[in-house]
Structure 1
Amino acid sequence: MKIKIDFRRILVVVGGFIGIIVLPIAYNSSYNYPNTGIFNIDHPLKPIDPEVSEDLPHRQYKRLSDSLKRDRDTKNGRLNYTAVGSLGLGWLEFEHINHETYSNGEREYVLLLGWWKLKKENEFAHVPIYFVEKGQSYLRSSICGPNTSKNPEQEVRDCKEIDRKVPFRYDLRENRIAIPISENAHQVMQWVSYIYIVGILILVLYFVLLVFMNFLRDIAYGDPFSEKNVRRLRTIAINILILPVLELLINLLGRLVYAGYFTSDIILNTGIWRQFTKPVVLSVIFVALYFAFKKGKKLQDEIDLTV
């Protein structure tokens, strides 16, 4: 039995999914801040790491600052960026180093979800500071009182700093949440990622490049409006969108599966939408070509019948 695929329905379903599921999340991840703000921090906490005096000579200041930064990176853990990773779904290691001896400490495995990041407390405050002490993740953030300003274009709030335990790890280099997983889960995901990468290569090489080359060959042979060419344009348009949509689904699924690790501090990284631009534009171009060639095929068949 031949299965007929309604291309218009596929576009409506994909567009409806993005509109119903993703846009509300992106909307809730944003906040319109006033134009100006004053946030007074009462009784700030002790600095997370020792502060270096600015009165020191420049070389000594730089050396001590770099040393403290290395110590902090050691405490927070070092991500192994040479491990297998793909798109917004990462299968990377998170390795903690013992701070006192600088010897290899306990190795912790994490699942990286690149679509989720730390939320800014407000437009004028920094993103909450993530740090690790004795294996426990913390966020240093501010709790602010009500707005005392009478000017609607300005915020004035009194705030205090607090350190809160959080269940997740965080990749400060790439600004993405890291979910702790077991070693067995890590090994399984590595194999899944290998299969995933092979699938991407097959998708790109066969369903996009090879199909497109066959499309150009038929045009060169003087048969541009063949039934095969119409189907090829549809295939290319669909497959170009598969990768970003698949990445989106994986990150949304990760949000559901590991909901216990997602506190109110984590929001959807709306800046990631920029990577959708190129595949969406390419897909729209091939969709337009699909309908144009489909119309051309119909006109050609009518001409053939009248001859």
Structure 2
Amino acid sequence: MTDYEKFKIRHNVITLGKKEYDIAIDKFVRKALKNKDVVSIYKIGSIRYPGLSDIDLIVFLKDRPKHFSIKKFSIKNLSAKEKYMFMHEIFAVPDSMGGKIKLLYPIFSLEHLGGKKYDFIEPETSDFIPFFIQEYVKGYMSWPDRIIRKGIIDEREIIPQVYATKYSIGIYQKILGYSSKEFERKCRQYIKVAENLREDFYKTKKDERDKIIIDLIYLTKEINNAMFFDLKKYLDKNIKTKPRTITLYLGFRPNIVVFNKHIDYMEFLNIRFLPSNFSLICKKDLSGAFNDEKLEKAFEKRYKLIEQYDDFIYKNNLGRFMMLTNMKSQFNITSFIKKRVSKN
């Protein structure tokens, strides 16, 4: 039985109208388009539920921007109400990657707000697999455990987080299909409850709403674990078992995915106990690593995109904006571990 009393919920959602979102977006877009480095601006998704929805903007910049900075365009410069609507910084992407961003991150809805228009390349199923393995396991699987452990729920943050699981399920289904009719039923029920939560949020009594949110957190954990083990079966089938070709650690609690040919045993042990989860992929490790040639090519394609994106973000000091990937094209494990140990 769920212990609802153990959770402390911050009821910090406020009532807003669609017009207020439109004004905030228009204000930001007009300012950004005046900047010499801004090539184009797109919005991800729609504002279907004002007060619950957040604003996701992608700003496409010249490949070597000189005038666009976090100091000028951080949401910290906005009013309290505008910050509430945005929730996070904008995404910065180079113009040269404009048509490829859906290969980096599966975005299902984009609205052009100004500047250059792009013809976006739509990902194939094989393109979703590297994303799902790296980004999903890294970023999306552990949050229910964290909330359950701490017992603190931020209502403003949890609503979009729970709803985002709908898209994770969609990607999983594209790649692997449902493992059983029962699991399909559970996923569909989850999506229905998550959608109804947003639809009826302001009409639902607070105590009842709290229970729905807590139940969804536990159900997210259950669904994530099921998807994780299906993913592990898929990898067991598709990754060759040649020694040192590929080292994969997923763990019982899915925290880490590592692809690295030159990792030694001690580094492997240290990685398992790192305080934060991360994943990395190294280009030279992929040759002959997979039974499926299409899968290998998808990883190689993704590596090149990450390498290009890395170069743009870090050479132009844009790392404090939101990023479409948490991956790194270059990562020194030993150096990272030594730094963490010395800090502690």
Same fold (TM over 0.5): no
Structure richer in helix, relative to its length? 2
Structure richer in strand, relative to its length? 1
With structure 1 as the length reference, what TM-score do the two structures score? 0.22
Over alpha carbons, which structure has the higher Rg?
1
Larger RCO (alpha carbons 8 Å, 6+ apart): 2
